[in-house]
Amino acid sequence: MKESLPPCIRVAVGLAFLAAASNQAMAQSQSLTVISFGGATKAAQEAAYFKPFEQSGAAKVVAGEYNGELSKVKAMVDIGQVSWDVVEVESPELLRGCEEGLFERIDPAVLGESAQYMPGTVSECGVASYVWSMVLAYNAGKLASAPASWADFWDVQRFPGKRGLRKGAKYTLEAALLADGVKREDLYKVLETPEGVTRAFRKLDQIKPYIQWWEAGAQPPQWLMAGDVVMSAAYNGRIAAAQKEGSALAIVWNGNLYDPDHWAIVRGTPNKALAERFIAFASQAETQKTFSTQIPYGPVHKDALATLPAETLQQLPTAPANLADAQLVNAEFWVNHGEELEERFNAWAAR
């Protein structure tokens, strides 16, 4: 018969077992509902954030998805029945939601030193989760020479054929002004004026017969590979996915328009502290590195970039070389002027 363990060891083992059981029970009893946009991004979030957060013993993550509209968030807050804890939102929705009182204020202390993060990615109601870009893309296998800028996108003599543009004012008006010689740093100063808006539409008039409008992010890479268009504005992640599958698609980073998506906490959630803990977890350099290896969107924690392999880094909007030629999309401008500009754009496109 084996000898029994000494009393002191039996007590230590018992305490360790009780602690483990307690942690497991806590994780099982607590859950955090995190809502994002779905698709490949959600799969990357699952690998980088949701599963590791669960495995840390913090809480079970219940992951859902939506289309980015704030109406459901507003309805929850208005009636005081909040079932979502953390939501992924685009920049204009973050601003609107913060102004309308739909999101909790986030304690910046939970994130650590603010200098660790890219400028403009930490605000009173949100923390950027990643950065994506609207880029100029082309099929290197179908062009004799490579375009280098939005000015080349407008050059139908040198690059004859159809062009793909997103069917909307946002990003399209910026690209038109960049093609017309407006400096990146002056882009929104010009677009803020009636003359600047007219200038952008006049520039679009030049290539209107050559434009093939897209409404879904999957369309540009499909059209480029099929030869339906010679170049297209496109989401960088969609092009990178096509490259991974062996296509000859290429990105021009010069003049790319970058924009963060953000985590925000729904106002009135009973799990605010846990939600802040999740956001802090998802904002660490190591977890963001994992996310960017799953999908080519840029981390906002500066230390994450230094640990990524070169082949991954070159596909990311926040890589120093790609950021050097980029312009941050001005969310406040689009909150203030988006509705009127989209109306004008739709009227212009219908003519």
Q: What is the DSSP string of 255-266?
A: EEEEEEEEEEEB
Residue 346 three-state SS: helix
Q: Which neighbouring-strand residues pair with 232? A: 137, 164
Q: Residue type at 165?
A: L
Strand, helix or coil at 130?
strand
Alpha-carbon distance values, 339 to 33, 170, 342, 343, 345 (Å): 31, 10, 5, 6, 10
Cα distances (angstroms) measured from residue 201 to each of 103, 172, 292: 36, 10, 36
- Mean pLDDT, the chain, rounded, equals 91
Residues 66/37, Cβ–Cβ less than 8 Å: yes
DSSP string, 198-249: HHHHHHHHHHGGGEEEE-STTHHHHHHHHTS-SEEEEEHHHHHHHHHTT--E
pLDDT band with cut points at 50, 70 and 90 for residue 9? very low
The predicted structure's pLDDT at residue 120 = 86
Check whether 262 has a pLDDT greater than 60: yes
* pLDDT over 90 at 75, yes or no: yes
Local structure of residue 46 (DSSP, 8 states): I
Please answer whether residues 245 and 317 qualify as being in contact, where contact means their C-beta atoms are separated by less than 8 angstroms.
no
Q: Name the pLDDT band for 40 (thresholds 50, 70, 90).
A: confident
pLDDT digits over 293-323, tens only?
999 999 999 999 989 999 999 999 999 999 9
Mean pLDDT, residues 286-292 = 97
List the beta bridge partners of residue 301.
117
Mean pLDDT calculated for residue range 66-71: 92
Stretch(es) of the chain classified as CATH 3.40.190.10: 7-131+260-321, 133-258+324-350
What's the average model confidence in pLDDT over 181-205?
A: 98
Q: What is the pLDDT of residues 97-134, one digit of tens each?
A: 999 999 999 998 999 988 999 988 999 999 999 999 99
CA-atom Rg of the chain in angstroms: 24
The predicted model gives 254-283 an average pLDDT of: 97
Residue 6: its pLDDT value, please?
A: 52
Diameter of the chain measured on Cα atoms: 94
Of 189, 105, 133, 174, nearest to 318 by C-alpha is 133
Domain 7-131+260-321 CATH (choose: 3.40.190.150, 3.40.190.10, 3.40.50.880, 3.40.50.620): 3.40.190.10
Predicted confidence (pLDDT) at residue 49 exceeds the cutoff of 70: yes
Alpha carbon distance 307, 150 (integer Å): 32
pTM score, two decimals?
0.84
Q: What does the pLDDT average to over 194-207?
A: 98
Percent of the chain whose pLDDT exceeds 90:
85
Residue 250 has pLDDT above 80, yes or no: yes
CB atoms inside a 10 Å sphere around CB 282: 23
- Exposed e or buried b for every residue in 147-179, given b needs 16+ CB within 10 A? beebebbbeeeebeebbbbbebbbbbbbbbbbb
Q: What is the pLDDT of residue 8?
A: 45
pLDDT for residue 184 is more than 90: yes
Q: Which residues of 259-273 are buried (b: 16+ CB within 10 A; e: fewer)?
A: bbbbbbbbbbbebbe
pLDDT at position 84 over 70? yes
From the list 309, 237, 280, the residue with the least C-alpha distance to 49 is 280
In the CATH scheme, what is the code of domain 133-258+324-350?
Answer: 3.40.190.10
